């Protein structure tokens, strides 16, 4: 299955590129959504976790993707922003879903560390792959930008992994429940949050047995005009991830340069690039 993690940038208006302020970008969800659908179809995405899902984005997805994908969202506790996931209806069934907030104890009701910008949330969905009847968990989150709270938030997410897996095994009487976590972690591989996130999960970029991305190309370059691929931003600003539990095989890990004019599905789908992992459940 192909998994996408994509921060879709919450704005819904005209803007400009970071590298060339004179270059206009139509950053409305109506325009960028059309390109997003091309990417989803072209890359044959099975499941995606999106961040910065403002209401206009959620409406667009509901109106324009429902023939292919089911959608589940979890709103922030204090903001209209949300984490949204979509899954290919033909291949998967969503058995259950819920959310918890990124403060210790992982409460199911809105809660916030006073220092965090927002009441950040993590969405979890129990999915069944229809062809194999295998159950697995899909989590999507977006950590805060405030340095002091990110480790605590990462800890809450990671500590929920095993209890969630156990809960699914008990509830559905299955022997195994692998887990996929996607999101914009606002944390680079050398940040203190990264070892926390990789305590129980593997970073697909490193676990890939096939093609993979280098460790320097930014996943979040901002809208960038490039003459050629040589202009991709390579400053190691890697903050968008797909993490998986031990049993999942990572066949490939790729990035679509959606934040550039060179994106094969049309210029500037977001200010982030789209990261894609091809996975196989055990």
Binding-site ranges for another protein (CB under 8 A): 34, 37-38, 41-44, 58, 61-62, 66, 70-75, 77, 82, 89-90, 94, 96-100, 105-110, 121, 123-124, 126, 159-160, 162-164, 166-167, 170-171, 264-266
Q: What is the DSSP letter of 260?
A: B
Using an 8 Å Cβ cutoff, are 156 and 103 in contact?
yes
* φ and ψ of 142, to 5 deg: -150, 105
Which residue, 281, 274, 280, is CA-closest to 40?
Answer: 274
Q: Which is nearer to another protein, 163 or 247 (CB)?
A: 163
Using an 8 Å Cβ cutoff, are 229 and 262 in contact?
yes
Q: Which is nearer to another protein, 45 or 204 (CB)?
A: 45
Rounded to the nearest whole angstrom, what is the least distance from the CB of residue 88 to another protein in the complex? 9
Q: Which is nearer to another protein, 61 or 274 (CB)?
A: 61
Q: Which is nearer to another protein, 83 or 218 (CB)?
A: 83
Q: Which is nearer to another protein, 81 or 203 (CB)?
A: 81
Rounded to the nearest whole angstrom, what is the least distance from the CB of residue 147 to another protein in the complex? 25
Rounded to the nearest whole angstrom, what is the least distance from the CB of residue 93 to another protein in the complex? 11
The length of the chain in residues reads 282
Rounded to whole angstroms, the Cα distance separating 163 from 124 reads 12
Rounded to the nearest whole angstrom, what is the least distance from the CB of residue 255 to another protein in the complex? 16
Rounded to the nearest whole angstrom, what is the least distance from the CB of residue 97 to another protein in the complex? 6
Using an 8 Å Cβ cutoff, are 258 and 221 in contact?
no
Strand partners, 240: 184
Tokens of 43: 């890359």
């Amino acid at each position: 299955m192909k998994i996408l993690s994509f921060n879709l940038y919450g704005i819904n208006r005209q803007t400009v590129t970071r590298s060339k302020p004179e270059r206009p970008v139509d950053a409305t969800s109506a325009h960028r959504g059309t390109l997003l659908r091309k990417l989803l179809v072209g890359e044959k995405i099975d499941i995606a976790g999106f961040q910065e899902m403002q209401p206009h984005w959620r409406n667009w997805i509901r109106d324009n993707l429902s023939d292919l994908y089911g959608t589940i969202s979890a709103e922030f506790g204090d903001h209209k922003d949300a984490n949204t996931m979509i899954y290919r209806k033909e291949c998967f069934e969503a058995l259950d879903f819920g959310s918890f907030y990124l403060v210790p104890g992982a409460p199911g009701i809105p809660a916030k560390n006073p220092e965090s910008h927002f009441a950040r949330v993590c969405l979890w969905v129990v999915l069944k792959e229809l062809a194999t009847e295998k159950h697995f968990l899909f989590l999507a989150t977006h950590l805060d930008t405030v340095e002091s709270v990110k480790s605590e938030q990462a800890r809450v997410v990671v500590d929920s992994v095993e209890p969630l897996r156990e809960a699914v095994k008990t509830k559905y009487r299955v022997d195994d429940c692998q887990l996929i976590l996607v999101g914009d972690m606002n944390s680079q591989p050398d940040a203190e949050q990264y070892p926390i996130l990789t305590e129980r999960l593997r970073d697909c970029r490193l676990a890939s047995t096939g093609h993979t991305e280098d460790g320097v190309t930014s996943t979040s370059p901002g809208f960038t005009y490039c003459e050629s691929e040589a202009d991709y931003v390579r400053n190691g600003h890697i903050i968008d991830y797909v993490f998986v539990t031990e049993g999942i095989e990572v066949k490939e890990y790729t990035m679509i340069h959606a934040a550039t004019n060179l994106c094969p599905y049309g210029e500037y789908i977001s200010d982030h690039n789209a990261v894609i992992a091809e996975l196989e459940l055990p």
